[in-house]
Structures are given as C-alpha cells and as structure tokens.
Amino acid sequence: MGSSDIDLLLQSLPQLGRGALYTAGIALSSIAFSAAGGLVYGALRTSRLPLLRFALRTYLELFRAVPILVWLFFFFFGLPIFFGLNIPSFQCAVLVLSLWGITEMGEVVRGALQSLPKGQREAGRAIGLSERQLLMYVLLPAAVRRMLPPGINVCTRLIKTTSLTVLIGVTEAIKAGQQIIERTGESLLIYSALFLFYFVLCYPLSALSRRLELRWNPQG
C-alpha cells in the first residue's frame, strides 16, 4: 500500500465511518431484538400447547426455509403493496433481521432448555415454583452456558447479514464504500478495507464462542 492509498483511506474515513455506524446500528438493534425475542420464543417453543407449538413451528420453518435476502426483498417491496405500509429501508432491515434472528436465537434457547436434566424441572415443581418462576430462576440460568456459544454465533451471522441491506438501499458500510469508489476508482483498496471491517467485527466473536464452548462443554 503506497502513501497515496493511505491518504485516500484517511480522507474516506468519515464517510466510511458514517456507513459503518449504520451497519452497527442495524446489527446492534437486531441483535438486541433477536436476543430478547429469542428468549421468549425459545421458552414458548417448549410449551405443551399444541396450537401454540404449531404456530411457532410454522413461523420457524418459513423463516428458515426462505433465504434471508428473499425476505428482505419481500418485506421491502411487499409491505407497501400488501398492507400499504411504507417502511424506510433501515427499519425494514432491522425488522427482517430481527424476525429471522428471533427464530435462530429461539432454537438455541430451546435446544439449551431441552438439554437440561429432567430432574431440575421436577425438583423445581416439587418445591412449589410456578412455571414462570421455574423458567426464570432455575432453567434459564442453568441453560446460559449452553446458550452463549451458539448464541454468539447467531450474532456473527446477523452482523454478516447486515451487508445484504445495501441491496434494499440502506447507506451502510458497503454503500459508503461504493460511493468512494465512484469518486476515486480505488475499488481494490476499498473492498479490501470492507473485507477487513467485517472480519474485525466477526472474528473476535467467533473466537470467543469457540473458547467458551471448549471451556464449558469440552466433550462437545
């Protein structure tokens, strides 16, 4: 990298930074919604009501089966037509990523809850806890260690998926990069920087997830 490249990168920083903030905004809000929603969704998936279980399962299959980019386009182009709702692309991105993230986080939560030994549930009921108390004070705290490593992986997937929001017109990191390329023609430099940007966001999380997994369940 020559000194002119470094100059260009430095000049581009404010614009790239603004784009990166949008990326971070989408990532953080959809991670927050997914985590909160996923806890509720995952807990409800262990419910014994057949109708509720069926509804939640349908939601899961729909969001899992159809590619996330298709959902992005479906919501972005479809909501105005089907419901007369015009959602700005940023909010649309957060909505779709959250709806998807909730099912993914929910599966992590459900898996962790169901992997707990049965004795815990029974002991909790035996000492007279309500189902809600059982979940809040016994099951969820015990399941955290099994939820955290795969939950962090869902976060990295959400972060990577924010890249797709450029395709529905969000001015996030990639879009900012493209605008700089239009002005300067430095595509190699800017795309390398974007590659690195996502890597720097995701790699520490993957490494953390692997470490926690090794520490907490070494036999897998």
Partner 1 sequence: MTIDTAYMLEKLPAFWKGAAVTFQVAGAAILLSTAAGLLNAAILFFRIPVLRQAVRVYVEAARNTPLLIQLFFLYFALPSVGIRLSGYVTAVAAMTFLGGGYLTEVIRSGVEAVSKGQMESGLALGLSRRQLLRHVVLPQAMRITIPALFSNYIFLLKETTVASAVAVPEILYTTTNFIALEYRTYEMLLMMTVLYLLIFLPLSFLLDWVERRLRHGQFGH
Give the torsion sign (CA, 24, 26, 27, 31).
positive
CA 25/CA 149 separation, integer angstroms: 23
Q: Give the residue with the Cβ less far from partner 1, 95 or 194.
A: 194
Interacting span for partner 1 (CB under 8 A) from 47-55, 109-117, 123-131, 201-209: 201-209
The only residue of 156, 170, 171, 180 in contact with partner 1, by rule CB under 8 A? 156
Number of neighbours of residue 150 by Cβ within 10 angstroms: 18
The distance of closest approach from Cβ of residue 132 to partner 1 in the complex, given in angstroms and rounded to an integer, is 30
User: For partner 1, which residue of 6, 32, 40, 70 counts as binding (CB under 8 A)?
Assistant: 70
Candidate ranges 87-95, 103-111, 129-137, 159-167; the one touching partner 1 (CB under 8 A): 159-167
- Tell me: does residue 181 bind partner 1 (CB under 8 A): yes
Least distance between partner 1 and beta carbon 174 (Å)? 7
One character per residue 72-111, x = contact with partner 1 (rule: CB under 8 A) = -xx--xx--xx-----------------------------
Q: In this structure, which long-range contacts are made by residues 114-122, counting pairs with CB atoms below 8 Å and at least 24 apart in sequence? A: 114/46, 115/143, 115/146, 116/142, 116/143
Residue 99: which of 84, 87, 111 has the closest Cα?
Answer: 87
Closer to partner 1 at the Cβ: 126 or 200?
A: 200
Under DSSP, the state recorded for 66 is S
Interaction between residue 203 and partner 1 (CB under 8 A): yes
Kindly state whether residue 141 participates in binding partner 1, applying the rule CB under 8 A. Answer: no
Q: What's the closest the beta carbon of residue 198 comes to partner 1, in angstroms?
A: 5
**In this structure, which long-range contacts are made by residues 187-195, counting pairs with CB atoms below 8 Å and at least 24 apart in sequence?**
189/1, 189/5, 189/8, 189/9, 190/12, 193/9, 193/16
